[in-house]
Structure 1
Amino acid sequence: ENHNLQRYLRVYGMRRTRHVLSWIPYDITDRGILLKSER
């Protein structure tokens, strides 16, 4: 069983921005994957 559920998800070109790669922390829960966007 993996207790370290926090990973970094790579989002490639999500909205048209100049930032091609964005690293977004997310949690894996029983309901699925929850993105932690603090913006």
Structure 2
Amino acid sequence: MAKEIKIGILSDSHTKTTLHQETVEHLSSLGAEYLLHAG
């Protein structure tokens, strides 16, 4: 059986560090194992 992997994708977080941190925490709480940051 294949393992399900959840990936979070973030972008355009320039100078939005508080929102960025909240988003990372939210994605982690949803089970995201990997985060991809696209600038």
TM over 0.5: no
TM-score relative to the length of structure 1: 0.18
The normalised TM-score by structure 2 is 0.18
The answer to which structure has the higher strand fraction is 1
The structure where helix makes up a greater share of residues is: 2
